[in-house]
Amino acid sequence: MKFVVKLGGAGLETPVLLEGSMRAIAELVRDGNQVAVVHGGGVQLTKTLKALGKQSEFINGLRVTDAETRDTALMVLAGKVNKSLVAALGALGQPAVGMSGGDGLIFRARKKRTTPDLGYVGEIAASDPRWIEAIWKLGGVPVLSSMALGFDGEYYNVNADEMAAACAIACRADALVFLTDVPGVRGNDGEVMRWLSIDQIAEMAKSAIISGGMLPKLGACREALLNGVKRVRILPAEAAGFLPDLCSARVAHGTEVMVA
């Protein structure tokens, strides 16, 4: 089976959660699956920007990205964070190849048109999964940071959830899993919803039941499901050990997002 696993938040920051996620991914590969990892790194980027004396600003869960912020994102996401994940998998004996979306022109971005303008924030306009498939054929795990090249030659900061969905669609993945620092999607009663239909997302957003970073995440879930990805699940990072069982056993963690 083909899995795309998106890592972000506390799953990247907390050593025990990161190790658990890496072990689960390595186990998936040992079981004969093909796995691609897409990662964010917003917390690390915010810390680096703060150290440089730059304040971070977000609108609807997306980072306002001027040229300086974009260059810092390229350094942090495609550099330090990406290579630390490659090293973590390597420590488990699992070969991994770290890339940005610009390498091999795997993903091409266009500027995201919003009001107000977000700067160098992009959305995926085209995908070419050949390099991902080449790494899979050699038994490796492609690890992709959420930066992509625009047709104008500029790098754009792409929301990692949106890139994960684009990756899953391009690779015809069987499952897309978001490992997060929240237990799942909470409903109006504050309880984690075990199942969520994409038809419910718009109303929940309108009622502000979901907001902030959960908005682009659920938008990415919807996009993936409507474009052929069979299963989409939001799973807390502490439950990453259940990843290898996701398609063969009942997993009572997180939220399963479904078409209906």
Which residues are documented as binding site for substrate?
A: 41-42, 63, 157
Reduced to 3 states (helix: H, G, I; strand: E, B; else coil), residue 41 is coil
Picking from 170, 175, 155, 189, the residue whose alpha carbon sits closest to that of residue 247 is 175
**Which helix (H) or strand (E) element contains residue 13?**
helix 10-13
Could you tell me the end-to-end alpha-carbon distance of the chain, in angstroms, rounded to an integer? 23
| Cα separation values, 236 from 10, 21, 24, 250, 252, Å | 10, 10, 13, 15, 11
- Feature table: binding site: 41-42, 63, 157
Collect contacts of 47-52 with beta carbons under 8 A, ≥24 apart: 48/72, 48/75, 48/76
How many C-beta neighbours within 10 Å does residue 92 have? 15
